[in-house]
Structure 1
Amino acid sequence: MYVDYSKYSPKSLIEALSTIDGDAYPENYKSLIAEISSRREEIEMYEASLEQKKAERWESYFSFIGYCQLATGVLAIVGCVLSVYNQLLLDAAFGFGIAALNIAAGYSIVKRECKYFFLSYLNLGLQVCSFGIGGFYFNYYGLGGVFLTYDWVLPVYNFLEFGFSIGGNIASFSMGSDSNGFIQLDVLAILCLLIIYKVMTKRNINPRL
């Protein structure tokens, strides 16, 4: 059966080329190849538009990460100010340091300051792993995360746990006599790192810088 490929859109032509059986339909195959050749520029423009849309989608994810870091920084400052009289100097310094890191990292993404993108790597990298061993405890959740947890001290948590959290302490650490025994991975932080790597790669920025 004869197929009039001149009525096909660029998308339909590409799909037809990937599905047609050239041996079973040699005439249609020749007609399809000829149509694609004659409309090469139109097809290339269509493919370029697809790549542009894909790049814009990744950039929107990238911007979202930046704004989340800015929001975390602002909330950290508010939390530190509200509890400044109830905090030790070390705790206050830790809180303001977390705020500064988030604001700097978020600002560099929102403003596309490429040479400071490493700050987001550092910031999100610190959020990947929380742990408590003996008397030492550290967590850094930011605005929240998706967690995989293994706790070998509390029987009720003596298995891998999948959970989601928004809010709570942005970050905390302590050293004391408590008997902690857990490790926690933030899957959301890992995903954000992968998005940053993807965008930096597309922008031809060395992710290792």
Structure 2
Amino acid sequence: MYVDYSKYSPKSLIEALSSIDPDAHPENYQKLIAEISARREEIELYEASLEQQKAQRWESYFSVIGYCQLTTGVLAIVACVLSLYNQLFVDAFFGFVVAALNIAAGYTVVKRDDRYFFLSYLNIGLQVFSVGIGGFYFNYYGLGGVFLTYDWVLPVYNVVEFGFSLGGSIASFSSGNGSNGFVQLDVLAVLYLFIIHKVMTKRNADPSV
């Protein structure tokens, strides 16, 4: 069956090339190859536009991470100020450090200052794992996350548990007497790190992005 590939869009030509059987349709295959060759510049422009769209999507995700960090920083400051008189100095200092890190990391992302993107790596990286062993306890949830938890102390968590949290304690740290026994993975933080890595890789490959 004769196929007029001259009426195909660049997208349709690419899809046709991936689906045609050269042995079953040798004439159409040769016509398709000839049409692609004749319209190479048009197809390359189409492929470049697809790559640009992908890059813009990743940049949009990156911006969301930046604004999430800024929001976390502001909320951390508010929480510290509201409970300043009820906190120990160490707890207050820890809270303000968390706030400063989030604001600095978020600001550099929003402003696209890639010299300091490592701050987001650090900030999000600290959120990947929460742990409690004996009297030691550490969590850093930010605005919340999607968690996989294994707790070998509480019977309700004697298997890996999946959960979602929005809000709550932004960060807490303690060391003393206790009977903790859990480790928690924030899947959302891992996704954020992947997005940061993806954007950084694209920026290193194309500095004009």
Q: TM-score scaled by structure 2?
A: 0.96
Aligned to 1:65: 65
Deviation at 1:27, TM superposition (A): 1.2
Aligned to 1:93: 93
Aligned to 1:108: 108
Aligned to 1:121: 121
Amino acid at match of 2:164: F
Aligned to 2:36: 36
Q: Aligned partners of 2:98, 2:127: CA distance in 1, in Å? A: 11
The 5-angstrom pairing of residues 44-193 of structure 1 reads 44-193=44-193
Deviation at 1:175, TM superposition (A): 1.9
Deviation at 1:176, TM superposition (A): 2.4
Amino acid at match of 1:167: G
Aligned length: 205
Q: Aligned partners of 2:184, 2:128: CA distance in 1, in Å? A: 8
Deviation at 1:10, TM superposition (A): 0.4
Q: Aligned partners of 1:33, 1:58: CA distance in 2, in Å? A: 33
Q: Which moved more, 1:169-178 or 1:54-63?
A: 169-178
Q: Aligned partners of 1:23, 1:135: CA distance in 2, in Å? A: 70
Deviation at 1:131, TM superposition (A): 0.7
Secondary structure in 2 matching 1:97: helix
Q: Aligned partners of 1:13, 1:173: CA distance in 2, in Å? A: 58
Deviation at 1:189, TM superposition (A): 0.4
Aligned to 1:24: 24
Deviation at 1:136, TM superposition (A): 1.1
Q: Aligned partners of 1:32, 1:127: CA distance in 2, in Å? A: 51
Q: Aligned partners of 1:176, 1:23: CA distance in 2, in Å? A: 74
Q: Aligned partners of 2:26, 2:204: CA distance in 1, in Å? A: 43
Deviation at 1:129, TM superposition (A): 0.6
Deviation at 1:163, TM superposition (A): 0.2
Q: Aligned partners of 1:32, 1:155: CA distance in 2, in Å? A: 64
Secondary structure in 1 matching 2:204: coil
Q: Aligned partners of 2:154, 2:26: CA distance in 1, in Å? A: 69
Deviation at 1:174, TM superposition (A): 1.4
Aligned to 2:195: 195
Deviation at 1:15, TM superposition (A): 0.6
Aligned to 2:15: 15
Q: Aligned partners of 1:24, 1:156: CA distance in 2, in Å? A: 61
Q: Aligned partners of 1:34, 1:123: CA distance in 2, in Å? A: 53
Deviations 1:112-144 (A, max 9, x none): 110100000100111011111111111000000
Secondary structure in 2 matching 1:41: helix
Unaligned runs of 5+ in 1: none
Q: C-alpha root-mean-square deviation of aligned residues, in Å?
A: 0.8
Amino acid at match of 2:121: Y
Moved over 4 A (4+): none
Q: Aligned partners of 2:169, 2:148: CA distance in 1, in Å? A: 18
Amino acid at match of 2:77: I
Deviation at 1:21, TM superposition (A): 1.2
Deviation at 1:22, TM superposition (A): 1.3
Q: Aligned partners of 2:180, 2:29: CA distance in 1, in Å? A: 68
